[in-house]
Structures are given as C-alpha cells and as structure tokens.
Structure 1
Amino acid sequence: MPQTLTTTEALAAFCARAADAPYVTVDTEFLRERTYFAQLCLVQMALPGADESDAVLIDPLAEGISLDPLYDLFRNEDVVKVFHAARQDLEIFHVDGDVLPWPVFDTQVAAMVCGFGEQVGYETLVRKIAKSSLDKSSRFTDWSRRPLSEAQKTYALADVTHLRQIYEHLKADLDRTGRSAWMEEELRTLTDRSAYVVDPENAWKRVKTRTNSGKFLAVLKEVARFREETAQARDIPRNRIMKDDVLVELASTKPKTVQDLGKSRLLQREARKGDMAEAILAAVKRGVEMDPADHPKPPNAPDRSALNPALADLLRVLLKAKAEAAGVAQKLIASSADLDDIACGGREGLWARGWRREVFGNDALRLCNGEIALSAKGQQVKIIPLR
C-alpha cells in the first residue's frame, strides 16, 4: 500500500533520507481548470531502490503540513531531482515555494537528445525502457478530493517508480555518447526563473494580432495588463475575465463610456457595468492617452517577403539528415519557423548557439552561403563541399 506523508515531521524524515541519495524522482498532480495559479494537490517522490519505503506520496492539502523540508531538498545541490516534462512542475514549485530545484534532470528532454523522438511521453518511455505498462484509468480524476482512492495512489506512484529506471538508462546513454553537456544546456534554460514569471506589463505580447498601430497596441497593452492583474488577484483563469478576442475588440473600438461598452459584440454582460466596466474604461483611457514615445513596439517578425522557398526546403532536408545522423529529435534542434527565418536571412536563434550550432547551425549557414550542396544516395543525404 503506498505510503502517504501528511505531517511536516514525516516529510522531513523522508527528505533527510533523500539528502543522502544521488537522485530522487519527483512528479506532481494538480488542478488548474478553475484557477490562475495551479493548485498543488499531490507530490510523488521515489529514491533509488525497491523497498516500499523508498517511494512516497506527499499530501500538501493535509492540515498543518509545511513543504519546507521538500523545498530544502530541492535546494540541495548534491541530489539530482528527476522529472518527466518538468516545466509545469517547476512552475508550481516556483510559485508555491519560490524555489527551482537544482540540479534537475528532465527525462523528456533527455529522451529527445537520445533519439527517442519529439516530446516523447512518459508512457512510451515506460514501455520502451522499463518494459512495463501504466494503468491510466485515474488520469483525469479530481486530485483535490479527499480521501484519495487506492487506485489514485497506485497510479500517482507509478509516475515516479518507473522514472528511476528511465533516468538511469538515459543518463548512462548521455554519458556514453558524450552528450551530458548538451543536456546541461537544455536544463539551464529550463530552470531560468524568468520563464516562470508572468509580468502583466508584457501580457499583451501573448495576444495574437495583425495590427501594428502604436495607439492600438497601447490600448491592447493596458487592457491586457488589467486582465492579467485581475486574474492574478482573483486567482481565476485570465479567459474568465476576458478572452483574447475581446482585448482586440477593445483596442480597435476604444470605448469611452459605459454605453460604448454596451455595443461590444464580445464583452460579457457582467463586464459592461459596475466596477468592472469602469476599470476597463480606465485601462482603455490610459492606452489612448499614452505618450506616442511609450507606445509598445510590435515584435520584430522576419520579413517573409524575402523567403527563399527552395532554400527553406533544402534546410528541411539538411535538418532531417543531421538529426538522423546525430540521433536527436529534429524539433529539439530547430523549428519549422526557425528554418524559414534562416531562409529569410536570419542569423540569430537557439539553433545558432551551443551544441545545436555544432550539429546543424554551421552547415545551415554554409548551405545559405553556397559553400555546400546536398545530394541523395539511396536513403542517405550527403553533403558536398563546394568551396
């Protein structure tokens, strides 16, 4: 029967054991459908070994429990914290405990580096590496309800027990191929705190729009800031305040009065009156009156009119060949948008730095400069130097 820790003392005792281990596997269960910030409902952890006490469930909803011992463990740089698809877990711990675990290891990223494909799922790695299967019947249950069923506990614990074997396999593969430094690059990016901070000042950048008018963007910036601040303060999803298309409509129509708001096609009824209406109008007014020198600038999108379609196609062939030769997922090296940027003359991007430049970037630039050509022989693509 899975052991569930419901007191700070029990958690501290387990974390003291974990402090002597080379690594610990970690996963979470949470809810986010009705809140802005994810509600942490369960933490699963396992130590190396096969003893029942080596794997536990931690109940953060238990009365009186403090997660401080867990966060102290996360700060312990002698213990590797192993996750699968860690980004959401890390965001939760950053918000809840102002901590980002380090050192960390993400088996999804490692699997892409080791050639298992793009964004490979945990279930696939369990099947291919651990030679086992998962019972997914509890996948969509409400993790905030108590008591948890034995089926829920068993399901949750499987997310960290199999992870031990997966981690050891992938780490050995990275060591064998000399790609541990590649992994380190990826993990430094994953644990950059700025990736987990949503600044209302920049919320407008999340909204897709084709309009680059300074006044339009100024109003969009102010109403998006209002929405983000309100959603954070009330801890409700931002789309429950206003959806993106409403922000675009407000930036276009620039209403001045409550009567103007009443003409909106998209604004919810409750936002057309009272304090909410006044706050929206105030945000629009701030945008309209913003000094033109302070107007937000549209993102520097590449000029697609300069796109060379033939070169973009060649870059896709080169990327596929390079990814297969290196045994790395294509998407981890460069995206389709990256390839179009390169074909438009772009020379900046993740693909142009670190191990990606070594694997693909250098030859991509040589191809653009006419220094190499590509030819096919059977199933293989060959690079032919021209200069």
Structure 2
Amino acid sequence: MNKINQKKSESIEKINSEILKQSHIAIDTEFMRERTYFAKLCLVQIATPSSIFCIDAISNDNLKEFWNCISNSSCIFHSARQDLEVIFQNSNLLPNKIFDTQIAAGLVGFEPQISYANLVEKLCGKVLKKSQTRANWEKRPLSKEMISYAREDVEFLLEMHTILLEKLKKMNRISWAEEDSKSLNNCNLYKFDPNEAINRIKSAKYLSGRTKKAVHLLLKWREKKAIEKNLPRQWILRDKTLVKIATTSIGLNSDFSDIKEISERFIKKNRNEVIEILEKSRISAEDYPPENKMNEKQKKIMTEMQKFIVKISKSLNIAPEIIATKKEIKLYLMEKNKSKLIKGWRKNLTEEKFLELTG
C-alpha cells in the first residue's frame, strides 16, 4: 500500500498510528539546499513491512505529532547524517535509535560509503534507475517518476537491515554497527556553533595572531549573516575572498580597492561591519596560535600506526579507513581526548599497539 503526498491531518494520524505499531521503520528524506543555508525539507518517506508512505512536508505545515512518533521510533537509514540534520532542523528532535545500512555495509566488507543503489543491487539483486538525483523536490505536483524514485529510496531498507544484521551477527560485529550509528544520532552534531566556523577553512589552522583572529571573527560574522538571510555561506562571502580580507592591511579609510574579488554591492552593505571586525582583530590576538604541527617522531609513529591499521583491516576484511583515517590517527596523536580511537570497538582493536608505539 502506498500513501503519496498526504495533506489531511487524519491521514497523518493514520501514518503515526502505523509507525507506533512497528519495532522499527525505514526512513529517508528529500530536501533542497542549493540556494539556502538551511535545507528545505520537501518529502519524508517511511517504509513498514506492509506499507510505504510519502509525506509532503511542504503541504503539511504541522507535523509535530509525526516528529514525536519518529523520536520514539527505531529508524533504519542509509547514510543517515544529512537526513538526521534536516530532521533535527525541522523538529528539534532525533529518532530514539538509528541503524545506518551504509555503516553496517562497511563493517561486513563492502566498500566505504557505498551508495544505496549499489548496496540494493548487491544485497537484494535489484537495479535502481536513480534518475531523479538532481530533481527539484520543491516542485508541485511531483511527477510519477519522482514519486517512484522516492518510494525506492526506502523500499529495500528493511530487507537490507535484516540481511546486514545476519552478516554482522555471524562476524560478532552488531555492537560495532550500533556504536557507529549511535554516534550520528547526537543533536550536538546538528546545532550551530559559530566558534566552529573556522574549521571550515583548512588553511586557517596554520595562521596565527591577528590574521587568524580576523579569519575567525569574519567567519563567525559570515555564519550569522548566512543564518539571518538563510543563504549559502559562499553567497555571503567566498572563503578565498574572506581570507584575503583578513590578510590585507585594511584600515578605517580603506576602500577595499586592493581586493578585486569584492563586489561594490558587498562593500556598500557591509563595509563598516567588516572594518570593525578587522579593528577588533588587532586587539589582543595572542589567543590565536597556529595549529601545532607534527614533529618527526610523531610522523614516524603515525606511519607505523597506519601500517598496523592496514594489517588488522586485512585480517578483518574491511577497508582501513573504516577503522581509522589518516586524519583520525593524527587527531589521536595531537589531541587524543577528541579521537574516536580511545573508545568502543576501535579502542579494543588498537589500544595495545598504539600504547606500545607512543610509549
């Protein structure tokens, strides 16, 4: 049974009732974010063992009870992070529990970040068309092709969940998949923190003093502007231009003429605010040191750690990056308390060897 583009509250109530009967449900979302800061939720697809529901999130402006049902449910996703982000933005809630089939697939030997279509083909023997990947999901009415595509995005999730659970059970890795899935079901991942904006520009971590403070303050300003106007960050100010502003000597009487990438419109609207930020950056910038770089000893240790990860990944028949990427190993060496390698199944695999290497 398929329920497409539900608009009446009584229909939503029936869907809510159906959801609450299930031990777990499959869920996917379709959204648009190319022209906005916040993703615009357009469609929510739900699959139970007997039904598929496609809920029009644009026409249904009151989904409070629906989201409450989701928050009490165990939900199956494929590549859950973006779906969870848009769900949290729209409801301020997350599911009670999640299982990510992409994570589980990696843990039983499939390639990292395998697509939904590829996993469906490998586990269920079905070939999906995936012809609507760039569709305009805000457009109404939705075409038959779009509805069919949306339906397929949840149609095989429950079946794949069952197959993957069986594989995980045989390998004694169910707890691994549960641990990694749970790490995504954390509302702190989807809350805005302007202080984290500086991490979006890789080159900024090697800056220091006044310049780094200027980049940091400009990024916070841009983030707030983007949220206020609900526009993509790059539409407010491009990364490259932002860094150039921070590294250029601009004073109170400057006309920004040295920075060709800045439009007259931007200068007219934001000149005073930007100059005020740059003036602030010149005051007490000692709290903005450059990121510590690895010394030669740490680089050698990191090389040995990477070799060890490759070795154990082969014995487990999983990709090395599923255990730890190069970035994750570096984090372990530089800021150990922030690394996921110090807890759970990864700790059990690596702790003894890593302690040996680090002394």
Asked if structure 1 preserves the Cα contact closer than 8 Å seen for 2:97 and 2:185, the reply is no
Distance 2:296 2:243 in 1: 26
Distance 1:285 1:172 in 2: 61
Query: Does 1:61 pair with 2:61?
Result: no
C-alpha deviation, 1:215, in angstroms: 1.3
> Any stretches of 5+ residues in structure 1 without a counterpart?
370-387
Give 1:3's aligned residue: 3
Give 1:303's aligned residue: 294
Where in structure 2 are the equivalents of 1:1-387 lying within 5 Å? 2-4=2-4, 5-49=6-50, 54-62=51-59, 64-76=60-72, 79-209=73-203, 211-257=206-252, 259-273=254-268, 275-289=269-283, 291-292=284-285, 295-299=287-291, 301-309=292-300, 312-339=302-329, 349-366=339-356
- Change in CA separation of 1:298 and 1:16 when aligned onto 2, cut-off 3 Å: farther
> Any stretches of 5+ residues in structure 2 without a counterpart?
none
- Change in CA separation of 1:158 and 1:345 when aligned onto 2, cut-off 3 Å: closer
**SS in structure 1 opposite 2:203?**
coil
**SS in structure 2 opposite 1:45?**
strand
Distance 1:102 1:216 in 2: 44
C-alpha deviation, 1:307, in angstroms: 4.3
- The size of the alignment, in residue pairs, is 356
- Change in CA separation of 1:346 and 1:92 when aligned onto 2, cut-off 3 Å: closer
**Rg larger in structure:** 1
For each residue in 1:63-122, what CA deviation from the matched residue of structure 2 results, as whole angstroms up to 9, or x when unmatched?
A: x5411122111221xx31111000001000111110111211111111112221211111
Identity %: 27
C-alpha deviation, 1:12, in angstroms: 1.9
C-alpha deviation, 1:230, in angstroms: 0.3
C-alpha deviation, 1:43, in angstroms: 0.8
- Change in CA separation of 1:163 and 1:40 when aligned onto 2, cut-off 3 Å: same
Asked if structure 1 preserves the Cα contact closer than 8 Å seen for 2:208 and 2:288, the reply is no
- Change in CA separation of 1:155 and 1:101 when aligned onto 2, cut-off 3 Å: same
Distance 2:209 2:314 in 1: 45
**SS in structure 2 opposite 1:209?**
helix
**SS in structure 2 opposite 1:26?**
strand
By relative contact order (CA 8 Å, sep 6+), the higher-ranking structure is: 2
RMSD across aligned positions (CA): 2.3
C-alpha deviation, 1:258, in angstroms: 6.0
Give 1:375's aligned residue: none
Asked if structure 2 preserves the Cα contact closer than 8 Å seen for 1:100 and 1:193, the reply is yes
- Change in CA separation of 1:265 and 1:362 when aligned onto 2, cut-off 3 Å: farther
Asked if structure 2 preserves the Cα contact closer than 8 Å seen for 1:55 and 1:157, the reply is yes
Distance 1:202 1:277 in 2: 24
| Matching residue's letter, 1:67 | L
C-alpha deviation, 1:254, in angstroms: 4.1
C-alpha deviation, 1:183, in angstroms: 2.1
C-alpha deviation, 1:17, in angstroms: 1.1
C-alpha deviation, 1:338, in angstroms: 3.7
Distance 1:256 1:368 in 2: 48
| Matching residue's letter, 1:230 | K
| Matching residue's letter, 1:199 | D
**SS in structure 1 opposite 2:255?**
helix
**SS in structure 1 opposite 2:156?**
helix
Distance 1:339 1:88 in 2: 25
- Change in CA separation of 1:148 and 1:27 when aligned onto 2, cut-off 3 Å: same
